[in-house]
Amino acid sequence: PPIAYEFQEELVIRPLHSGDIYASFQFRTVWETDFTRGISHYRLFPKSLGQVISKFSVRELHISFTQGYWRTMQWGQPYLPSPPGAELWVWFQDTVTDVDATWKELTNVLSGIFCASLNFIDSTNTVQPSASFKPLGIANGTDHRFLRYATLPREIVCTENLTPWKKLLPCGSKAGLAVLLKSEKLFHSSFHSQAVHIRPVCQDEPCKTASLELRQTLNVVFDLHASGQGKREWSLFKMFSRTLTEACPLASSSKIYIDVTDNPQDQFELSPATHLLSQAVVLGDRRTFSVYDLTQQVTFGTVRSLNVLIRWKSTEGDMLRPLLHAERYVAGYGLQTGEIHTLMYNNHPFRSFPVLLLDSVPWYLRLYVHTLTVTSKGKDNKPSYIHYQPSKDRMRPHLLEMLVQLPPHSVTEVTVQFERALLKWTEYTPDPNHGFYVGSSVVSALVPSTVAMNTNITKEQPLFSTFFPTKEESSYFIRVYTEPLLVNLPTPDFSMPYNVICLTCTVVAVGYGSLYNLLTRSFQVEEPNPGLAKRIANVIRKMRGVPPL
């Protein structure tokens, strides 16, 4: 029978090859409700989000706030990808009549809930992808008119965003895994990303009932030298400055998974020891995990607190190269033109697979789409699907979506030239010489998997492996984000209005003033002041009636 309410929490710790450590928190609340009929009673599901969903007829909502850029080549693939800055994409229900107005209201309400500047999302940075960002939950059809995607690459994530995010959890930050989420350690990291994902999911195998799932995820990568003081030894206390004392009482499952797949020769040791092992197929690979079950009292031992310690003895072993990887940069010189290069690497030795590239470029970089070239291994590679929506100044951005087949073991380069526009002087930000951000490109792909993926939805699986739904066993879906670009637009000198006013007024005053005086002044000859003797003589002459000297 479907469960009315369920809350699960888990933490996955994956030691990375470079010595850094990657921790991924997931908090999942599943609520069996018919949300189209209106929701009235909230228990574990946060009321603020529930009201947003019912008021704006939202089918799926995905919002993420990220600080830092995920380095795929050094760290591998993340469990949940996210671009730097803020990203929001929403699927609305079919009943919505004016999607754009609803989107604008939704972004304002979300900016209030998460204390972020999401109200800067407007028509100049919102796009409607035509093939990417298919719904991650259950759906009848996919009419892309109800999808909106926006990204704010300039958004900074800080404590004020973390606090309302933590408030949405059933146990808050008082019990369970959320006690580890202390901002002074979380923001002292190389990468920090927090996200909220709401979608309808299947509850059981025949999938006759739909439930609403809320996943709150937090990914953080701690740097070996900044947080780890150079020593390759990690513990919960070193990472978060807290230890765990209990699971969240409202959670049906509360687990910590440590990825021990790369440890066949015991390069690192784990303490306290645990004999619970679990295997899961995630990101196309079968990984082994040591599990700590926080719902069992025995996990906490006699000290009543759990501090997992990972100590390295040797540092051999190499990393599995990620199969798909993307980069982007701006080429060119000067402030008039430039060229955007996007490189996609297919590191599979013999299989090729298709990728969908989504590029959303702001209107002030005018793309010359006739210069778009896609080359793989030096030869032209024609995409099988291109969707381009040109920009309109100050109204919408460029949208470019392409389906490209990447040949095996190759680099595919997509180049397009652009020209920079001159903005009106009020449109510049207070720090215009910093540059203007262009949001990350999104590369969505079905990558061939080395082991059979699990397509059974109801088997008990760890949360991190069930985020993207898998329909077939031989491939898995990933999304890779490129770097955001920072381009300088021709910036005027903002002191010029003042300079111009001063100079003009001076020129007018000096030039016109003197000319006017020359034209209109009349000159009179003036006698110099006569001496004393002459003055007395003039007085006597006046008395005599004789004209003066």
The size of the interface with another protein (CB under 8 A), counted in residues, is: 53
Question: Encoding tokens for residue 464?
Answer: 């991190």
How many Å apart are CA 397 and CA 359, to the nearest integer? 10
Q: Please state the closest distance from residue 76 (CB atom) to another protein, in A.
A: 21
Closest to another protein by CB, 104 vs 242, is: 104
The residue written with tokens 């490189």 in the block is: 343
- Sheet with 191-202, side-by-side order of all strands: 126-127, 147-152, 85-92, 58-67, 191-202, 210-222, 21-31, 5-15, 253-259, 285-293, 277-282
* Given 69, 120, 187, 312, the residue binding another protein (CB under 8 A): 120
Residue list 506-545, contact with another protein (CB under 8 A): none
* Given 117, 241, 314, 499, the residue binding another protein (CB under 8 A): 117
Three-class DSSP category at 277: strand
Closest to another protein by CB, 134 vs 366, is: 134
Burial class (CB in 10 A: 0-12, 13-18, 19+), 206: exposed
Sorted by sequence, the CB contacts under 8 Å of residue 420 that are 6+ apart come out as 335, 336, 337, 338, 364, 365, 366, 487, 489, 490
Nearest to 28 by CA among 168, 161, 158, 159: 168
Nearest to 484 by CA among 152, 53, 255, 136: 152
Return the H-helix or E-strand segment holding 104: helix 99-113
Residue 408 in the binding site for another protein (CB under 8 A): no
Residue 68 in the binding site for another protein (CB under 8 A): no
Closest to another protein by CB, 6 vs 259, is: 6
Question: Encoding tokens for residue 27?
Answer: 């908090």
Q: Please state the closest distance from residue 239 (CB atom) to another protein, in A.
A: 21
Q: Please state the closest distance from residue 116 (CB atom) to another protein, in A.
A: 6
Nearest to 9 by CA among 209, 241, 179: 179
Residue 224 in the binding site for another protein (CB under 8 A): no
Closest to another protein by CB, 145 vs 311, is: 145
Residue 237 in the binding site for another protein (CB under 8 A): no
Closest to another protein by CB, 16 vs 356, is: 356
The region of 134-142, 186-194, 434-442, 498-506 touching another protein under the rule CB under 8 A is 134-142
Contact mark string toward another protein, 354..393, x via CB under 8 A: x-x---------------------------xx--------
Q: Please state the closest distance from residue 142 (CB atom) to another protein, in A.
A: 6
Residue 160 in the binding site for another protein (CB under 8 A): yes
Residue 430 in the binding site for another protein (CB under 8 A): yes
Residue 135 in the binding site for another protein (CB under 8 A): yes
Question: Encoding tokens for residue 446?
Answer: 């079905």
Q: What is the largest CA-CA distance in the chain?
A: 139
The residue written with tokens 């009943």 in the block is: 95
Q: Please state the closest distance from residue 196 (CB atom) to another protein, in A.
A: 16
- Residues within the interface to another protein (CB under 8 A): 34, 40-41, 104-105, 108-109, 111-113, 115-117, 119-120, 130-131, 134-140, 142, 154-156, 159-160, 164, 200, 202, 206-210, 354, 356, 384-385, 403, 430-431, 444-446, 468-469, 471, 477, 494
